[in-house]
C-alpha cells in the first residue's frame, strides 16, 4: 500500500505542508507550471526555494502577488509557529494587521452580508490590498481555476471546514462568514497547492502524527487569546494534539483544516518501507528544525519463510503485508455486577467494536475486578471512549495502538445433504484455513430435532485446515 505519513512535530501550516509534499512529488515541473498558469489571472506566482534549518535543507514555497512575496517587503514574514504581532505577516501569507484577523485565531469574521460577491472591505499597507471574501466568492474563484475538478473539490471542502469552524466560534452561519486572512490569494494558493500535490502523488493512504500546537498566547484584532486559537481548536476536535514547550502558535487553522480533510488516521508512524522524504520549511528559526516532514513509502512487508520439501531449507520469502493498526481501550472495574458488565460489552460490540473481552484481575485493597477491553478503529476513539464512560462506572480509560497482522477472509456457500452451509476461508502468510459458520451448523442440528450431531453436519463441509 502506497502510504504517505506527515510528521507535524512543529505544527502545520499551508505552505509548510505544500513544501513537504512538493519534495516527494515526482512531477514538480508539471505542478509549478499548472499552478502558475491557474493563478496567473490573479497576479499570483508560485516558486520553490531551498531553505535550511538546523543543518537540514528543505523547500520553502514562495507565493508572490504582483511580483512581491506576501509579507516580506515591509514586515517580518512569520511561519506557522509565530504568534503574530499587529504589523507582521503569518507564514501562510495570511496578513495580520491591526485592522484584520490573525490566521490562527479567526480565519473569518461574520458580517451581515448575504450577497455572493466579494465585499469591499480592504486594507492598504505598502500598496498591498487585502480583500475580504465571502464563501460564495471563494467558491467561484476556486471553480474558475484551470485545474482538475478533483483538486477543486478538495479545496472547496477545506474552505467549508474553515468556514464552519468560524461559524461555530462566532455562533453564526456559513453564509454570513467573510474570510479575511484565509481568504487572501496566497492562502488560497497554499490550500489549492496542497490539494493538487496530493492529487499528483496519489497515495493510497494518508496518515498524520499527533499535532504540536505550541503554547502561550496569540494577538489578534479582538485581543489576546490562548493557543490554540478558537478556530484551530474547533478544527482539531477529536484529533490527537499537544501543547509542548515552544512558546507561540505552531498550527494554523489552514494547516488544521488540510490535515483534517486528508488524513485518515492520526497516529504514530507505522512500520514503513520509506522511498522518499520531504521537508517543508517554515521561516522562523528555533532550536528544533522548523519543518513538516513527509514520508512516502509502503507499509512494512513482513517476510514469512517458505521451506522447501526437498531441502528443508528456506529457498524464498513469501511477502505478506503488515496490515493495519487497531486501538485498544480498556478500564478496570470492581464495582459493577456481572450483568452490567455484560451489557456494556454488548453495547460496545453493537456499536461497531472489532472485539470486546474481559479478563479477571486483582485490584487495590485486594479487590477482585474485571479488565474490560475494546478493540476499535483508531478514528473512533472518541466514540468508544464516550461509551465507556456512559455505560461503566470507570473514571478513566487507557488507550494503546497495536499493529495488526491478519489473514484475508472470504465466504463461500457449500451445498450438503443437510442444506447450504457458509464456510469462512482465511488465507495469507503462507497459511490457508477454513471453518463452517457455527450458526448454520446449529440451525441444521435444530432443524433435525437434534437427531444429528454437530460433528456429523460439519463433516459435510469437507476437510478443514
Domain ranges of the chain: 2-297, 324-404, 408-459
* Joined grid coordinates for residue 458: 460439519
- All cell numbers assigned to 31: 505542478
Joined grid coordinates for residue 176: 454570513
User: Residues 370-429: pLDDT tens digits?
Assistant: 999 999 998 899 999 999 999 999 999 999 988 888 888 888 888 888 888 998 888 887
* 3-class secondary structure per residue, 176-223: HEEECCCCCHHHHHHHHHHHHHHHHHCCCEEEECCEECEECEEEECCE
Interval 238-249 mean pLDDT: 88
Question: Cβ distance 16 to 273 under 8 Å?
Answer: no
Q: How far is residue 216's CA from residue 372's CA, in Å, rounded to a whole number? A: 38
Among 111-120, 125-134, 173-182, 190-199, where is mean pLDDT lowest?
111-120
Query: What band does 309 get if pLDDT is binned at 50, 70 and 90?
Result: very low
Question: Vertex 9, ends 97 and 190: CA angle to 5°?
Answer: 45
Residue 388: HSE in the Cβ half-sphere, 13 Å Cα cutoff: 26
Q: What is the CATH number of domain 324-404?
A: 3.30.70.1380
What is the rounded average pLDDT for all residues in the chain?
Answer: 80
Work out the burial of residue 410: count CB atoms within 10 Å of its CB; fewer than 13 is exposed, 13-18 middle, 19 or more buried: exposed
Four-point Cα dihedral 243, 248, 250, 254, nearest 10: 120
Q: How far is it, in rounded angstroms, from Cα 22 to Cα 6?
A: 13
Q: State yes or no: pLDDT of 239 exceeds 70.
A: yes
Q: Highest-confidence range of 127-141, 301-315, 344-358, 401-415, by mean pLDDT? A: 344-358
User: Rounded to the nearest 10 degrees, how much is the dihedral formed by the CA atoms of 443, 445, 448, 450?
Assistant: -140
Strand partners, 49: 60
| Cell numbers that stand for 375 in this block | 478493540
Cβ contact 392:339 at 8 Å: no
Least confident of 124-138, 143-157, 277-291: 124-138
**pLDDT score for 65:** 87
Single out the residue of 12, 2, 49, 80 nearest to residue 293, CA to CA.
Answer: 12
Angle at CA 246, nearest 5°, toward 240 and 250? 55
Cβ count within 10 A of residue 54: 11
Q: Rounded to whole angstroms, how far apart are CA atoms 365 and 81?
A: 48
* First and final C-alpha spacing in the chain: 29
Q: State the pLDDT at residue 132.
A: 59
Helix (H, G, I), strand (E, B) or coil at 108: strand
| Cell numbers linked to 183 | 481568504
- According to the model, what pLDDT value does residue 203 have? 95
Question: At 293, is the pLDDT very low, low, confident or very high (cuts 50, 70, 90)?
Answer: very high
Cβ pair 170, 105 in contact under 8 A: no
Q: What is the pLDDT of residue 465?
A: 40
Among residues 105, 76, 341, the alpha carbon closest in space to that of 220 is found at 105
DSSP states along 249-282: E-B-HHHHHHHHHH-SEE-SPPPEEEEEEEEEE-
Give which of 11, 75, 56 is closest to 211, Cα–Cα.
Answer: 11
- Could you tell me if 212 and 173 are in contact, meaning their C-beta atoms sit under 8 angstroms apart? no
Task: State yes or no: pLDDT of 106 exceeds 60.
Answer: no
Q: So what's the pLDDT on residue 355? A: 96
Nearest to 184 by CA among 83, 304, 102, 126: 102
**Least confident range of 96-105, 153-162, 290-299, 313-322:** 96-105
The answer for residues whose C-beta is within 8 angstroms of residue 223's C-beta and 6 or more apart is: none
pLDDT at residue 177 in the model: 64
- pLDDT tens for 141-185 read 999 999 999 999 999 999 999 889 888 887 776 766 656 554 478
Amino acid at each position: 500500500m502506497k502510504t504517505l505519513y506527515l510528521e507535524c512535530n512543529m505544527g502545520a501550516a499551508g505552505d509548510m505542508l505544500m513544501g513537504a509534499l512538493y519534495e516527494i512529488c515526482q512531477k514538480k515541473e508539471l505542478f509549478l507550471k499548472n499552478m502558475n498558469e491557474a493563478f496567473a489571472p490573479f497576479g499570483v506566482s508560485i516558486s520553490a526555494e531551498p531553505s535550511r534549518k538546523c543543518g537540514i535543507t528543505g523547500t520553502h514555497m514562495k507565493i508572490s502577488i504582483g511580483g512581491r512575496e506576501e509579507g516580506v517587503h515591509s514586515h517580518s514574514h512569520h511561519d506557522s509557529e509565530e504568534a503574530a504581532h499587529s504589523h507582521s505577516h503569518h507564514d501562510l501569507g495570511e496578513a495580520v494587521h491591526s485592522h484584520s484577523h490573525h490566521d490562527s485565531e479567526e480565519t473569518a469574521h461574520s458580517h451581515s452580508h448575504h450577497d455572493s460577491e466579494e465585499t469591499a472591505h480592504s486594507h492598504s499597507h505598502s500598496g498591498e490590498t487585502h480583500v475580504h471574501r465571502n464563501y460564495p466568492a471563494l467558491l467561484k474563484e476556486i471553480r474558475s481555476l484551470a485545474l482538475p475538478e478533483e483538486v477543486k473539490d478538495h479545496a472547496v471542502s477545506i474552505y467549508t471546514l474553515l468556514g464552519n469552524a468560524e461559524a461555530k466560534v462566532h455562533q453564526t452561519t456559513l453564509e454570513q462568514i467573510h474570510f479575511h486572512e484565509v481568504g487572501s490569494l496566497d492562502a488560497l494558493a497554499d490550500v489549492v497547492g496542497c490539494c493538487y500535490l496530493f492529487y499528483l502523488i496519489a497515495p493510497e493512504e494518508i496518515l498524520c502524527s499527533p499535532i504540536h500546537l505550541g503554547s502561550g498566547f496569540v494577538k489578534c484584532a479582538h485581543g489576546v487569546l490562548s493557543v490554540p486559537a478558537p478556530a484551530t481548536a474547533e478544527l482539531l476536535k477529536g484529533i490527537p494534539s499537544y501543547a509542548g514547550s515552544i512558546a507561540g502558535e505552531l498550527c494554523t487553522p489552514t494547516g488544521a483544516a488540510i490535515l483534517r480533510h486528508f488524513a485518515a488516521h492520526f497516529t504514530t508512524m507505522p512500520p514503513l518501507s520509506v522511498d522518499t522524504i520531504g521537508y517543508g520549511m517554515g521561516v522562523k528559526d528555533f532550536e528544533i528544525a522548523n519543518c513538516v516532514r513527509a514520508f512516502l513509502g509502503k507499509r512494512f512487508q513482513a517476510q514469512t519463510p517458505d521451506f522447501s520439501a526437498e531441502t528443508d531449507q528456506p529457498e524464498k520469502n513469501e511477502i505478506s503485508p503488515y496490515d493495519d493498526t487497531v486501538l485498544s481501550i480498556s478500564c478496570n472495574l470492581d464495582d459493577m455486577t456481572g450483568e452490567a458488565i455484560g451489557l456494556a460489552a454488548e453495547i460496545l460490540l453493537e456499536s461497531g467494536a472489532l472485539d470486546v473481552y474481559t479478563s479477571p484481575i486483582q485490584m487495590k485493597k485486594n479487590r477482585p475486578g474485571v479488565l474490560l477491553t475494546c478493540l476499535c478503529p483508531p478514528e473512533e476513539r472518541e466514540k468508544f471512549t464516550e461509551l465507556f464512560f456512559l455505560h461503566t462506572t470507570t473514571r478513566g480509560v487507557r488507550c494503546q495502538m497495536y499493529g495488526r497482522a491478519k489473514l484475508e477472509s472470504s465466504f463461500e456457500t457449500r451445498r450438503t445433504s443437510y442444506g447450504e452451509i457458509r464456510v469462512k476461508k482465511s488465507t495469507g502468510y503462507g497459511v490457508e484455513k477454513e471453518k463452517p459458520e457455527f450458526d448454520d451448523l446449529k440451525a441444521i442440528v435444530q432443524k433435525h430435532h437434534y437427531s444429528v450431531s454437530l460433528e456429523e453436519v460439519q463433516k459435510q463441509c469437507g476437510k478443514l485446515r
